Structure formats: C-alpha cells, structure tokens
Amino acid sequence: MPSTPWWRARRDALLALADDRSPRYVYDLGTVRQRARDLRAAVPVDRVLYAVKANDYPEVLCALVDEGLDLECVSVFEIEHVLEAVPGFPPARILYTPNFAGRAEVARALALGVHATVDNATTLDAWAEVWGGRAVTVRVDPGVGKGHHDHVKTAGDASKFGVSPSDLPALAEAASRHGVRVVGLHAHTGSGYDDLGVWAENARLLGRLAREHFPEVRHLNVGGGIPVPTGGAPPYDLTAAGAALDEARAAFPDLAVWIEPGRFLVAEAGVLLARVTQVKQKGAVRYVGLDTGMNSLLRPALYGAHHDVVNLSRLDAPEAGPAEIVGPICESSDVLARARPFPETHEGDVVLIDTAGAYGFVMASHYNRRPPAEEVAL
C-alpha cells in the first residue's frame, strides 16, 4: 500500500470542494477498491463481509460490492438502507449481527431474507416463533477482548456481546427443541489491535466448539479488527495474518472461513475538510478552531483516536509550534487533535483530517443544533 496519501495528489480538487461547502467528508473510491483488493490478495478466506456500520455511503457500498464483498449489518435499518443503496443486491448476501435488538426488529430483518446471528441463547426459547426452523450463526464470546481502546473491545465478561462457551450446551439443546440449525460460529474480539493472530486463535476455538456442540456448522466467522496506520506508521502485514489463519484452518478443512473488516477498507479513503473560524492564543496554548468538531467526527472524543491533521491551504508551510485543533461544540472534549505541530494558520484556511472514512459521518450528530459535515465521493 502506498505511503503517500491519495489526497495529496487531489489537493486542488479538495480545496475546490471546501470552497463550495464546508465542512465536508470526501471519499476516494479508488482507495476503497484498492483496500478491498489488498485484503483479498493477502488473506485466503472464503467470504469477506464488509461491516456496513463503518461507512454506509451508497457509493462506498456499491464500490465494495463491485469488488465481490458481501455485507454485514447490525440493524434492520442498515439492511433496509443497503437494499435501497445497492439496487438488486441479494438479501442472502447480508449477514445480520444484532445485539440486544428487539423481537419485532429481528423478525422484520429475517422476513427480508438475510442470514442472522444469535447473540443470546435465551432468545431461542423466548422467541421460538422468530427463530424456529431457521439456519443461524451463533456469536461466541472468546473470553478476552482486544482493541485500541476499552470501548472497542468486544469480548470478555465486561462486554455485552456474544454467548459464553459454557452456555453453548444449553443453546444447542434449545436449538434442537425449536428446529434451529446452527450452521456457523462467529467471534469478534475487538478493533484496531496490533496482532491479527487472534483470527487464527478464533478459528481454532470456533472449530473445536463446532465439533463439540454443533455438527451442522459449515462456516467460521473470525471477525475483523484490522489496524489502520496513522502518523506515518507502516501498514499492517496482512500476509502474515493470512498465513497464520491458513495454518489454523488446516485443522478444519471442511469449514469455510469468513472475516468481517470495516475500518481497514474505508478509513484511509476518507478525509474530513473543515474551515478555520478563529485562531486563539491563550497563554502558552494556541487553539485553531474549525467550523465542525465532535458533531462530525466523534472518534477523538469517544476513543481518544488519533487522526493526522494538516492545513491543506498551507500544506508545505513550516511548522509554527504546537496547536490544539478544536471544534465549535460546547464541550471541553470537543478536541480533534492535541498539541500537534502546525503551521501559521489564519481564518478561512482549509484543514484536512485524515483517515476519517470510517466511523465518521455514521456516528455524527446534530448536537448544539449544528449540522454535521456532508458527504461526497470522488
């Protein structure tokens, strides 16, 4: 993968887009497609499901579907959005992975023809009219969560996701009572961790559990979580992760292996453009204020996430010391970047926030009645 970000070559086009309207999310579809190809070339799996929650912009979805990916949705609302955004897309290519969704929502999703994941063993008995007679995947909690922040760890007793392995015998009995066929097992440990050897660990765990409890299992979904480099860090070695997974799956040659990446496919393809509203020197601290903040990009406030930030109007200007890059929201946490080297900056300059293509607009709000950034694709 190239170390030079795509947006450097598109600087003039981006400045023109910002002149037309700011703030703005901009997605490069060529980068989306390339990440899909990188992944498929490096990781030998039977099915790649894009996690729609990362970015559900219609042109992004269409690009990934064109590259042969299927889609993973976590709500019936995402499913309905996908079916509208990607005309003719077969519901059978959608994996529905709800968490604490209500009975009516699950029934509504299943009626659309998607394949669903069971996340709570007790619902097989309680919602027999919903699950009865269906083929399902079961989400298993592997016991240990991993991720770049506690909020993105999705396993362990402190996590609300998945069925504990100790509860699987009872789930198997409930499935038998209601004619439910468990045809797949799923484990997702978290997001943005540095060691994708967890895919191989999940494959071994799920394969063993399938043999112990579910003889009809035909696929193992080992999750996502591929890290995205920031700050000039080298890209993650997908080939090594793929080789480890391939070695693990050799023990279960009759089972298909799925993965469900999200952020890896779209983060680097997106930038957030914003215009400088004010610059304030307060004691020793320089604040660069933008026309948007956590209402458009929540990740820094929610996760402490790092995004590279540049003054696109003065891209090659020398640094003038550190700056706090902040938004207009009435919260002390409305800080997009802290103590970043930054050039001399003035009102009206266009600032670019990098790797903003994932969990950006989809998590945006109208807090303070400020509209979030709009979206456009190149």
Catalytic residues: 330
User: What torsion do the CA atoms of 164, 115, 93, 186 make, to the nearest 10 degrees?
Assistant: 10
What does the alpha-carbon distance between residue 79 and residue 25 come to, in Å, rounded to a whole number?
23
Contact 320, 53 (CB under 8 A): no
Which pair of tokens denotes residue 193? Answer: 């961790």
Burial of 290: CB neighbours in 10 Å, binned 0-12, 13-18, 19+: buried
Contact 266, 35 (CB under 8 A): yes
- b/e map of 105-135 (b: 16 or more CB within 10 Å)? ebebbbeeebbbbbbbbebbeebeebbeebe
Beta strands in 239-362 (DSSP E): 256-259, 270-282, 285-290, 309-311, 319-326, 335-343, 350-353
What does the alpha-carbon distance between residue 91 and residue 181 come to, in Å, rounded to a whole number?
19
Which pair of tokens denotes residue 212? Answer: 């112990």
Residue among 194, 190, 152, 157 at smallest CA distance from 302 = 152
Amino acid residing at 318? P
What does the alpha-carbon distance between residue 205 and residue 225 come to, in Å, rounded to a whole number?
17
Burial of 104: CB neighbours in 10 Å, binned 0-12, 13-18, 19+: exposed
How many other CB atoms are found less than 10 A from the CB of residue 218? 16
C-alpha distances in Å from residue 135, one per residue of 105, 119, 176, 217, 222: 18, 14, 12, 10, 19
116 beta partners: 96
